[in-house]
Amino acid sequence: MDEDKLFAEAMSKVKPIAHEQKKQPSEKPTVKKHVSLPVNRTPPAFDTYPSQNVSLQTTENPWILKADGISRERLKRLAAGDPAVGLTLDLHGMTRDAALDLLDHEFLQAVSHKQRVITVIHGRGLHSQGKAVLKEAVYQWLREGAMARFILAAIPQPGSGGGACLVLLRRKV
């Protein structure tokens, strides 16, 4: 029997679904811009963290940042989900300034609540004129921003196509 006949035979008992039984997809899924931790009015004891002059090194891949002493094995474990993501920030549709303000606020809260890993969804810059504005701004903020001293590593999130990164935060010293 050829393929057309096999297909016709297999489909001969199929009946269309009545219009009233069809499920219609919702118009658009709702997307949260970010997940916010409860506000902690007591700031973390910043003096127990390394001084501001701790810097993240850029590796041969400009989208991988790591502090001194962070091994490739540690980065592999981070990529594999160890430790688990505690907070996800979605910056899609935000201006550069709004995104950086959100990063300042949420990273401060994450440090206060002893979170270890944050996913930052910055996008790949497909809708930017020229280069990826948010992605560039996020990585610059991770290297040089007010919270840079709390960051041990940042790597592209596996499976994100370069549109998100995983950030590993320091524990108290």
What pLDDT, in 10s, does the model give residues 99-155? 999 999 999 999 999 999 999 999 876 666 667 789 999 999 999 988 999 999 999
pTM, full prediction: 0.67
- Cα 11 to Cα 16: distance, rounded to the nearest angstrom: 11
- Output the pLDDT for position 21: 64
Comparison of pLDDT for 91 and 31, the residue scoring more: 91
What are the residue boundaries of the structural domains of the chain, listed by start? Answer: 45-169
Instruction: Check whether 29 has a pLDDT greater than 50.
Output: no
Please state which architecture CATH assigns to domain 45-169.
2-Layer Sandwich (3.30)
What pLDDT, in 10s, does the model give residues 40-96? 444 445 444 444 445 666 667 778 999 988 999 999 999 999 999 999 999 988 899
